[in-house]
Amino acid sequence: MSLQRLTQGPLTIGLELPLDNDWSQPGEASRRRDDRPFGVPDLSAHLERAQLADQLGFRALWLRDVPLYDPSFGDAGQVFELFTYLGYLAASTRQTLLGTAAAVLPLRMPWLVRKAAASVQHLSHNRLLLGVASGDRPVEYPLFGVPFEQRGEAFRDAVAVLKGDADQRLDAGQALLPEAEQPPLLVAGLAQQRPDWVGQHMDGWLAYPGTPDDHVRRVDLWRRVAGDKPYVSFIHLDLAENPEESPRRHRFGLRVGSQGLIQELTAMQAAGVNHIGLNLRRTQAPIEDTLQRLATEVLPIFHHDAEASSSSTTQQDVTHAPA
C-alpha cells in the first residue's frame, strides 16, 4: 500500500528531514547565535513543519539514520533517534508516508529493527517505507563493536530477519509483536551487495543524488536487475525567489527557480525516477515559505488530482494513534 502511494505519480515529491535551512547563510547565522555545531539543525519548529508538509500534500517524509554525530562529517541528520521519531511522527501526521533513508542495519539488532518497524507500521496505519543500508561511516563501527569490513554480510543476515526468512530460529509459539503488514524494503546504494542480489531481495532503490543524466544510467541498471520496482532519489534544493532563475548546480543538487525545478523534475521523470525527496537545508528562504511555494507551484504538476482526493478521504477517516 505505501509503495503504491509512493509511486502514484507520474513522479511524486517528498521531503528529507530535518526541515531546517541550517546550511544556508541565514541558517549559518542562526547556528552561530545558538552555538550549535555545524550540521546540527534547529529543531524548535520541527513538529509544526512536519505537520505543514503533511497538510500540503508532500508524499513522504524521509529520516536519516545518524547514530553518532561526528564533526568530521558535520551532519547530525534530524538528530532524533530514527524509530523513536518515526513513532512520534506517526501520531502527529495523517497522510504523508514515513520513510527511513536509511536504517544502518549492521549497527542495529535486526530482530529489534523488525519489531520497531512493525510498531511504526501499526501506529502509522501502514505508512512506513523501510529504507535500509550497510552504512558508510567507518568511525561508528568500533563504537558498536561491529567490524566495518563485515558490514555486507551483517546486512544480508539482517535482511533475512526483516523478511521473515530467519523465522525458523523462533521456537514454537514465539512471535514478534505487534503483527503488522510487512513494510517495503528499499536499499540505499548497493549496501556491499551485487546488483542482482539487491534487485531480487529489495522492493525499491534509494539512489544517491545526481543529475538527470546520472539517473538515466542508474535507472537502466536498476531496471535490468529489478524490473519495474520503484527508483527513488533526492535533491538538495535551494529554491530561488524568482521562479525564472536559471539553475546553478552544487553538490547533490541545485539552486533554481520553481520553473527550472519543474524542468529538472520532468527530466528525472523521463529518466525513470519514481519519487524525489527534497532536502531544503541549503535553501535561503524561510522553510515555511518554501514549503508553501512548492505546494502551490510544483506539486500540482506531478501529483494527480485523484490522489489528492484519496488523501483527503484518508485524512478524514484515519484517527491519530494515542501518543
> Is the CB of residue 232 less than 8 Å from the CB of residue 273?
yes
> Is the CB of residue 305 less than 8 Å from the CB of residue 251?
no
Domain 2-317 classified CATH 3.30.420.10?
no
Q: Report whether pLDDT(307) > 70.
A: no
> Is the CB of residue 39 less than 8 Å from the CB of residue 303?
no
Q: What is the pLDDT of residues 133-191, one digit of tens each?
A: 999 899 999 999 999 999 999 999 999 999 999 999 999 999 999 999 999 999 999 99
- Rounded Cα–Cα distance for residues 133 and 105 (Å): 6
Q: Report whether pLDDT(310) > 70.
A: no
pTM of the entire predicted model: 0.93
Helix (H, G, I), strand (E, B) or coil at 98: strand
